[in-house]
Chains A and B, each alone.
Chain A
Amino acid sequence: MNVEIGDGLTHNVKPLLHEIRHALGKLLATAETTTIDLRSLPLAPGEEDKLLAELGHGEVHAGLNALGPSEIVETRFAGVWVVLHYNNDREVLGKFIEICEIPELLRAQPADIRDGLEQLQAQLA
């Protein structure tokens, strides 16, 4: 028994791509970043995969390991990043598209740098 799934049922893929296009323009003009929460929009089965396939993979593929794994992938459009958050059981915690120079999560955070410095100082003492 085959269950056929229509292609592009919500027709939200193209509008989303246009939203990303506008955000990229804004990023270039004013350095303003945009984040889109993929789970806040109705997408039919297969449409999210279609969107991610359209965005493709670029030069950067980063893995984050904090509170479970996360994947931060630059798409084939520079400045458009796909950020996928999972917990340790590989359950989805969040799915975002970030239009920015670099996602905040890839930056080393001042509080963590401070901790690291203290540890290194203690080690070398």
Chain B
Amino acid sequence: MSKDETLGEALRRQGISRRGFLKFCAATASMMALPPSMVPVIAAALESARRPSVIWLSFQECTGCTESLTRSHAPTVEGLIFDTISLDYHHTLQAAAGSAAEAARKTAMKENFGKYILVVDGSIPTGNPGYSTIAGISNHDMLMETAKGAAAIVAVGTCAAFGGIPQANPNPTGAVSVSDLVHDKPIINVSGCPPIPVVITGVLAHFLTFGTIPELDDQGRPMAYYGKSIHDRCYRRPFYDKGLFAETFDDEGAKKGWCLYKLGCKGPVTYNACATTKWNEGTSFPIESGHPCLGCSEPGFWDAGSFYRAISTPTEDIAKTAVYSVGAGAAAGVALGAMNRAKQRRAVETHEKVTIDDLEKEKQP
């Protein structure tokens, strides 16, 4: 595909009719969380857009973010978006490695200086540059060098956006986020562990369509996806409002789909699109599948207290230092915590245990 070709020309050449293109634009608008009235604007913009060069650098990451993005099959909107960008360097996806691959990166940087999009996943170690290197170049040096000519940087995943799991206590590698190191470029934080695939491609699509970065919140995350908390969009909210909570996994409340607040749900303090956009092409999300939200799109979520204790209960540390025992509000907090534990104990006692025999019986026709 030639670099001078517009997106519209490229799609037409692939045999996609105008109808197909309009369907693509409608799906893209939905993906970018834009109102359907924007479809003609998107159509006009995408038709004349040129393919931007994208350099993707992977640092201290588990590859979950790349996996999240590439788990789409056949021609999907995500796939098409990806095809229409010129992915000039992706350490994990590309077959090349070593000096030839690095040469390709340098060439892409030089040819598109000031115009390429830099995508980063994984955190950057600052303790010892040797902790994470590519072709002998430390993550830190590669980031600083590649950032120089970038038009914008997309930090994909909580590791690149906020430090993520490598930064979790005790942070053995001195891991930091992209925005801790780069201060002179616009940075879009697409946090989540991993982020929802359409959110990643939605940001790229926005850049393709408008040539600008989307509106960001105070953590640098696109407002379209991170503007509302999980709690405010959760379909189980009516149960929270009525005080109907699951006390343990698979008790009566859990079976009825009641609120998971007492089981540690971080929904009230987590901003992401999971409750509306959902996962696996809109199939479900953790709460709908019966598991409390982990808060994976927030900074420091690994160290924010147990995943399975309600956010209103004090953490172990606070109780031990006795700071929390001062003040009426604190006493109420501790009392609530105690109430929670008593209810939990009662629920566990009345819980019907399922044995292997029961499961075996269920299997028989």
A interface vs B, CB < 8 Å? Answer: 1-6, 9-11, 35-37, 39-45, 47, 64, 66-68, 70, 83, 85, 87-89, 91-96, 104-105, 109-112, 115
Contact = CB atoms under 8 A, between A and B. Distances in A.
Interface in B13-39: 16-20, 22-24, 26-27, 29-30, 33, 35-37, 39
A67 B20 CA distance: 6
22 contacts: A1-B250, A3-B256, A6-B238, A10-B235, A11-B238, A37-B35, A40-B276, A42-B234, A45-B235, A45-B288, A66-B20, A67-B24, A68-B75, A85-B26, A87-B74, A89-B73, A91-B73, A92-B281, A93-B77, A94-B23, A95-B30, A109-B19
A85 B21 CA distance: 13
A66 B15 CA distance: 10
B255 interface: yes
Interface string B274-288: 011100011000001
Nearest to B232: A42
Nearest to B284: A45
B238 A10 contact: yes
Q: Please list the 7 inter-chain residue pairs (A to B) with the smallest Cβ-Cβ separation, ordered nearest first.
A: A35-B36, A66-B20, A109-B18, A44-B235, A93-B27, A91-B281, A111-B18
B75 to A, nearest CB: 6
A112 B236 contact: no
B73 A66 contact: no
Given A35-B36, A91-B76, A96 B26 contact: yes
B148 interface: no
A11 B242 CA distance: 15
Contact of B30 (A87, A94, A104, A115): A94
Interface of B: 16-20, 22-24, 26-27, 29-30, 33, 35-37, 39, 72-77, 80, 233-238, 250, 255-257, 275-277, 281-282, 288
Contacts of B20: 66-67
Contacts of B276: 39-42
A6 to B, nearest CB: 7
A42 B275 contact: yes
Contacts of B30: 37, 39-40, 93-96
Contact of B74 (A5, A10, A89): A89
A48 B276 CA distance: 12
A94 B39 CA distance: 13
Contacts of B80: 67
A4 B76 contact: no
B235 A9 contact: yes
B22 A105 contact: yes
Nearest to B290: A3
Contacts of A85: 23, 26-27
Contacts of B23: 64, 66-67, 70, 85, 93-94, 105
Contacts of A41: 276
Given A1-B255, A88-B75, A105-B19, 4 more contacts: A6-B256, A9-B238, A39-B277, A66-B16
Nearest to A36: B36
